Amino acid sequence: MSDSVPVAAIGARPPVVRVLRGGEELVANLALAAMVLLPLAEIVVRLVLTGGIPGSIPFVQHLTLCVGFLGAALAAREGKLIALATTAFIPAGSMRQAAEIFAAFVGSGVSMILATGAYDLMLFEMEDGTIIASGVPVWIAVLVLAVSFTAIALRLVWRAAPSWGGRALASVGILVGLWLGNTDGILETVPVWPLISLVLIAAVLGAPIFTILGGAAVLLYMGDGDLPVAVAIRTYDLSIQSHLPAIPLFTLAGFILAEGNASERLLRAFRAGVGWIPGGTAIVCVVLCAFFTVFTGGSGVTILALGGLLFPALLRDGYRDRFSLGLLTASGSLGLLFAPAMPLILYAIVAQVAPDDLFVAGVIPGILLVGLVVAWSVREGRVTGAGRHPFGWPELRAALWEAKWELSIPFVVLGVLFGGFATLVETAAFTALYCTIIQGLIHRDFAVAGLHRAFRECVVLVGAVIVILGVAVGFTAYLGDADVPFLVVEWANAHIGSRLMFLLGLNLFLLLVGCVMDIFSATVVVVPLIVPVALQFGIHPLHLGIIFIANLELGYLTPPVGLNLFMASYRFNRPLLEVYRASLPLLAILGFGVLIITYVPWLTLGLLDWLGRI
């Protein structure tokens, strides 16, 4: 959710503040633009020169780190850092204000500890003189980490309260963080669990999710006598993840589509094709939501972007209010199993499997889940007799012709990737360019201002995700150092008697995880723990990946804190309990689908086997 700022308030800001804010956005947007242009240039140059552009790959990887953390600072400025939605249960007034101040106190303190670690890493890199490529030093990228964490801390304090008194209380967290981060061995002789408990309480009260993982990581390392720089080193390791740049690039393509009128053209095309079927408009909404979630990578984004278009369309065609609310709440995450959704790419990175294999693995399970929701929509159409649109060849031809460029996107993307014309990152950059040409030049839906908004929104969303990934890598590294994966395997071997029991327990565990954690941090933290256990029971890593994402997709709908529930409550201005009731049938239907995916591995592996990829 975001806080809107009145135009008058923006104009009232001092000129220096407006320049700094604009400059911050400009730097982040230029870095993202460079991420698009370098892979595109690599494709062209590779046709002429063997080996392509020297240094382009490490530059793009480091730009991803810079875009992510600059975006995190922007997300903090706009109040869009990902957090648990539990603050909605705190009564408004002094109680909520106190909770927000405490959350900001802890969040700013954790951020400053992380900032001191990044600053120390920058000093080490300056001393070592490590180079990214073409003479550009590594310490510049690490400086972005230090500056971004500092900016996040300050902005958490600023947004903690409207009064200077409340901000002053929250700002004590910055001083505490600086003290802890700069005092060697301060936690080595004391238990750190009370401090970690405070971090967990702050997260429940509204502190950003990255403070849970980042706070736990730095406190555990410091409790073992290490410095916060240990987490900064692991965070910097994101810059060597070869597939990670594809996430912001595909996300940019999604925001470019959302900025134009692609949704209206696709709605017309799908309605012309299937609107005559019972439940036709509902089917169109399901497919359209899945299409957009594939590229935006966030179900909440889909609900916010398309809800204002699709909800009135359903009501106009005679669908029941509760059915429409539940359908759109559930449909927001249906596209996560289709290529090139962000969770698939991230799982491939963490589990070290080929992303294109995972893309193939998700096809049939994704179709199954969409098909189940479509079947529910058909039932609704038959029961209620909701409005159906007469089929007509002229309208279908006209609608398909108007939406031909948007409809071509999946085929173009998969053709470029699987045809061997480009790597995953290059395909993502090409997709962003292709969507820009479609929306900006062919349809002329927006000009430079619209493209700027798409870049800005992409940077903010990616920043909210990357900052979680960065600290989650540090937390996962600590778990590895403490042999937690090995202990989990030992426990599983001793207490779980069969593959069936493991899968059932995995479903329940992942449903809980998906309910309380975002899919990105859950992937980085949980996947390294469950992959070794799954291998012990003969579960293919690709099958495990689809099980994992499908379960977390279901977790978005699970009360009390499933993310889709809060997004739908916010977007449609409905009480949470009303959203819960509306979503329960879809939760049961999709839960049935997840069980089928889990216990019928052929759905995941059959197409791969047929293609000779396993």
At 407, the pLDDT band (50, 70, 90 cuts) reads very high
Residue 7 has a pLDDT of 39
Residue 521 has a pLDDT of 82
Q: Give the C-alpha separation, 580 to 575, whole Å.
A: 9
Mean pLDDT throughout 390-408?
A: 92
Mean pLDDT throughout 293-308?
A: 76
**Residue among 281, 501, 270 at smallest CA distance from 407:** 270
Residue 198 has a pLDDT of 94
pLDDT by residue (tens digit) across 152-167? 999 999 999 999 999 9
Instruction: State yes or no: pLDDT of 317 exceeds 90.
Output: no
Instruction: State yes or no: pLDDT of 593 exceeds 90.
Output: yes
Lowest mean pLDDT among 168-177, 201-210, 304-313, 531-540: 304-313
User: Phi and psi dihedrals of 253, rounded to 5?
Assistant: -60, -40
Mean pLDDT of the chain: 89
What type of residue sits at position 269? A
DSSP code of residue 88: G
Q: Give the C-alpha separation, 97 to 87, whole Å.
A: 10
Structure tokens at 467: 């900052």
pLDDT by residue (tens digit) across 462-482? 998 899 999 999 999 999 888
Residue 2 has a pLDDT of 39
pLDDT by residue (tens digit) across 518-573? 788 888 889 999 999 999 999 999 999 999 999 988 888 888 767 788 888 878 88
User: Phi and psi dihedrals of 463, rounded to 5?
Assistant: -60, -45
**What ranges do the domains of the chain cover?**
7-240, 260-460, 467-610
Instruction: State yes or no: pLDDT of 357 exceeds 60.
Output: yes
pLDDT by residue (tens digit) across 11-26? 456 777 777 788 889 9
Lowest mean pLDDT among 158-167, 318-327, 571-580: 571-580
Instruction: State yes or no: pLDDT of 5 exceeds 70.
Output: no
Regarding pTM above 0.95, the answer is: no
pLDDT by residue (tens digit) across 29-52? 999 999 999 999 998 888 777 667
Q: Which residues of 496-522 are buried (b: 16+ CB within 10 A; e: fewer)?
A: beeeeebbeebbeebbebbbbbbbbbb
Half-sphere exposure of 134 (CA within 13 A, CB side): 7
CA distances from 258 to 124, 187, 450 (A): 43, 48, 10
Task: List Cβ neighbours of 324 (8 Å cut-off, separation of 6 or more).
Answer: 282, 311, 314, 315
